[in-house]
Each structure stands twice: as structure tokens, then as C-alpha cells.
Structure 1
Amino acid sequence: MRAFREAVEAGDLDAVEALLADDVVFTSPVAFKPYPGKAITASVLRAVSQVFEDFRYERELDGGDGRDHALVFTARVGERRLSGCDFIHLDENGLIDELTVMVRPLSGAQALAAAMGARFDEIAKEAEARSASAS
């Protein structure tokens, strides 16, 4: 998904948010339950953009139907290097309705979990404010 990739690479988080469907479901590599909704997904992605260092997409894969995509990336969290993949599904309007992220190795996932966990209260407050302003 070229528009998502370009927005992420440019650090344009407003453009990333504009690509999300209201009912998007975000599945984190370090959380048990998925996060439903645009507000929480946008807030998580904003926090991740601060946590990941040296982030770069390396490859883009297309599922062939135009609705399924995978973006392979590398990044660093503190001293831990990691690689991962954003799995993206588009709804009938071309908006992202599913975003699943996977990362490896375990040490990288643990560093990501710790960094995001330390920010979770802030993420939840931002999502609540986004949700309230969208209503």
C-alpha cells in the first residue's frame, strides 16, 4: 500500500490516520487483544513512531487482489534491532480496516513491549481525546 508506506516514511502521521477506516482493528505484536477503532490505532501508531529508531521499509508485497498488502521493515528500539511486517487489509472504500504488526526477534519484541508499555497511559489519554473530538 503505497500511500501508507509513503506517509509513514515521511513521518506524516495525519496522512497515516486519514488512511484508517473508522472501524479499523489494530493487532499489536506485543499485546494479547486487538485494539478496535481509529482513535486508538492512530494513537498507538504515533507512539510507535517515537519508539522506533532507524525505521525503514525494505520490501512491499501485494496479495494480488489489491486489498491485502505486507510491508517488511527494520527498526531499532534502544539497543535492540528488530525486523517486522505490517499486514494491511483495505475495506471496499480503500481504507485500512485491519492492521496487524509482527516483529522478531523476541528480544526486539520485548524492548518494544517495554517502551510502549511505558507510554500506554499517554496513548490511552490521546485516544480518548481523539475519540471525543471525532464525535
Structure 2
Amino acid sequence: MHPFRTAVENRDEAAIEALLAEDVVFTSPIAFKPYPGKAVTAAILRAVMRVLEDFTYVREIADPGGRDHALVFTATVDGKRIQGCDFLHLDEDGLIDDFTVMVRPLSAAQALAAAMGAQFDRIALEASEASEAAGA
């Protein structure tokens, strides 16, 4: 089992963040442009943990080299069942440097977009504070 999966299943925010490379790029299923950087990616993942209910990984797929992983999940958002996949790529140090999420069906993706939109100000504040702390 990949350590990221274990961290998510344990809802261990510190462990999740520790697995992210500083230059990680997060590609959202609901935003047009990717989000670069550890601070914003960690803030987004914390928000996801707040809005998705009954989150469960149901399958894990890895390439033979161990640098690419697909973690299939199910969850509920605003009463809608969602199915998705986290695609992770690991850098030479074993840290996540590329994180892409895809979800279905459309109605659940729209519910996720609305729920995450309501978290946007908090995500921006957390990312800003983390960036400032890292620079200090």
C-alpha cells in the first residue's frame, strides 16, 4: 500500500503534506489550470478531506517501476455518490511531484465543484500562511 493512501485513510494531514514535493503540481477535476506548489496542494487536500464524506480507496494500481500510482476511490459529496481516481507521480526522492484527480459522474463533479468553491477562501488563506511560514 502506498504511504499516501495510508496517510489519507488515517486522515493524517501532516503525513500527507510530508509526502508532497515542494514543486508538486496539483491538477483538479474542476479547475482549468493546475495549482503549483506544496502549500496550495496541501491546503486543497485538507479541504477535500473536509467536503468528501465516506471516502474510501477501493483499488490501487502501480507501474512496475513504482513511480506512478492510481488510487481509485469512492465518496459522497452533498448526498451524491462520487467515483474518482488520484493519479500520483513520484520524483527521484519518492515524493509526489504530480497529482491529478479525475471524478465522475458529472452531477457529483458539479457537487464537488460547489463544495470546494465554498472552501476557496480558506484554501487561499492556508496556502498563503504556509508559504509565508516556509519563507521565514
1:2-57 residue CA offsets vs partner (Å, 9 max, x unmatched): 10000000000110000000000000000000000000000000000000000000
Question: Counterpart of 1:128?
Answer: 128
Which residue of structure 2 lines up, in the alignment, with residue 33 of structure 1?
33
Amino acid at match of 2:38: K
Task: State which drifts further: 52-61 or 62-71.
Answer: 62-71
Match of 1:73 in 2: 73
Tell me how far 1:78 sits from its aligned partner: 1.4
2:67 alignment partner AA: R
Partner residue in 1 for 2:117? 117
Matched position secondary structure for 2:114 = helix
- Runs (5+) with no aligned partner, structure 1: none
- What is the SS of the residue equivalent to 1:103? strand
Residues 88-129 of structure 1 deviation map (CA, whole Å, 9 limit, x = unaligned): 000000000000000000001000000000110110011000
- Partners of 2:69 and 2:63 in 1: how far apart? 6
One-letter code aligned to 2:93 = N
SS in 1 for 2:102: strand
Letter in 2 for 1:7: A
Q: Structure 2-normalised TM-score?
A: 0.98
| Secondary structure at the counterpart of residue 101 of structure 2 | strand
Q: Which position in structure 2 is the counterpart of 1:88?
A: 88
Structure 2 stretches lacking a partner, 5+ long: none
**Is 1:104 aligned with 2:117?**
no
* Separation in structure 2 between the aligned mates of residue 127 and residue 64 of structure 1, nearest angstrom: 34
Q: Which amino acid aligns with 1:88?
A: L
Equivalent in the alignment of 1:9: 9
Matched-pair identity in %: 68
Structure 2 Cα separation of the partners of residues 98 and 73 of structure 1: 18
Alpha-carbon distance in structure 1 between the residues aligned to 2:65 and 2:109? 30
Q: What is the TM-score when the length of structure 1 is the normalising length? A: 0.98
Give the C-alpha shift of residue 64 in structure 1. Answer: 1.5
SS in 2 for 1:99: strand
